[in-house]
Amino acid sequence: MLRGLFAIIAGYLLFATASIALFAISGRDPYAAAPAWFLASSTVYGMIAATASGYMAASLARRDDNRVPAVLAVVIALGALASLSAGNPGAHWSQWAALCLMAPCAFLGGMAFASRWRRRRAAVTDGSDT
């Protein structure tokens, strides 16, 4: 249980740090309107960061199920919803991208790890892993 909680926190910290770093380095406000190229590239960047965070969380949890990445996806989605409902003026494209695209990517990253974990365990059980 504690390992899973630690994994969720670590996964969220990876995702949040990557997101904060993007806006800090680019000098853009996440609540400001953005050109299409920045919107697209930052969304893809966020999806990659979310996928990596889900994969990392699942690997830290050392489980072959999807509970940890599912909770991580919910935490990311709740963070986006909290930001949307905070009443900040301006554009909300980054929050909608996190809610609709990045949270599911965190889950998919965890699923990828779980699949790899199961295949590896099956190979060890079969004796085909040398």
pLDDT band of 129, cuts 50, 70, 90? low
In this predicted model, what pLDDT tens digit does every residue of 18-57 receive, in sequence order? 999 999 999 998 888 889 999 999 999 999 999 999 999 9
Report DSSP letters for 62-118, one per residue: T-SSSHHHHHHHHHHHHHHHHHHHTT--S--HHHHHIIIIIHHHHHHHHHHHHHHHH
DSSP structure class, residue 32: S
CA distances from 34 to 42, 49, 118, 128 (A): 10, 20, 42, 52
pLDDT band of 59, cuts 50, 70, 90? very high
- What pLDDT does residue 60 have? 94
In this predicted model, what pLDDT tens digit does every residue of 86-113 receive, in sequence order? 877 778 888 999 999 999 999 999 999 9
